[in-house]
Structure 1
Amino acid sequence: MSEWRTSRYSEDINCVEVALGPAAKIRDTKDRSGGTLEISTRSWEALLSALCRPTTLDLPKV
């Protein structure tokens, strides 16, 4: 079993935890026994890539 990790930017109780291994497992820190979401590591990497990608805003020119 992989080690559960939280983001260093999050508070202790208001975040999610992730355990990486053959699959990425995700759970809520407020309800650790309430269930785990499991996705492929490729999907996890795609999610992080999309979240970290700079975006352009569709703002009207002034």
Structure 2
Amino acid sequence: MNVDLSKAHWFKSSRSGGSKDCVEVAFLDSGHVGVRDSKNPTGPALEFTPGEWDAFTAGVNDGEFERS
């Protein structure tokens, strides 16, 4: 699916400290969530359904992706 992301409002975590090595997120009009690399804003972006995004953020909050 090709989605026009040119008008998306991208943001990154307030914890990024102004670094350009971040992931940016946009909540799209379709209800989906876009994710891109802040170093390459014109490059490819990933798009997730609301359910996929909810599962991911729940996993983050539960520590599922913690490195040992």
TM-score clears 0.5: yes
1:2-51: CA deviation from partner (whole Å, max 9, x where unpaired) = 42110111133011100013110000000111111111021111101101
Unaligned runs of 5+ in 2: 1-6
- What does residue 25 of structure 2 align with? 18
- Aligned-pair identity in percent equals 29
CA RMSD of aligned residues (A): 1.6
- What does residue 5 of structure 1 align with? 11
- Aligned pairs for 1:19-58 (under 5 A) are 19-21=26-28, 22-54=31-63
CA contact 1:20–1:41 (8 Å) conserved in 2: no
Q: 1:54: how far off?
A: 4.5
The ranges of structure 1 where at least 4 consecutive aligned residues each deviate by more than 6 angstroms after the TM superposition are none
More strand by share: 1
Question: In the comparison of the two structures, how many residue pairs are matched?
Answer: 55
More helix by share: 1
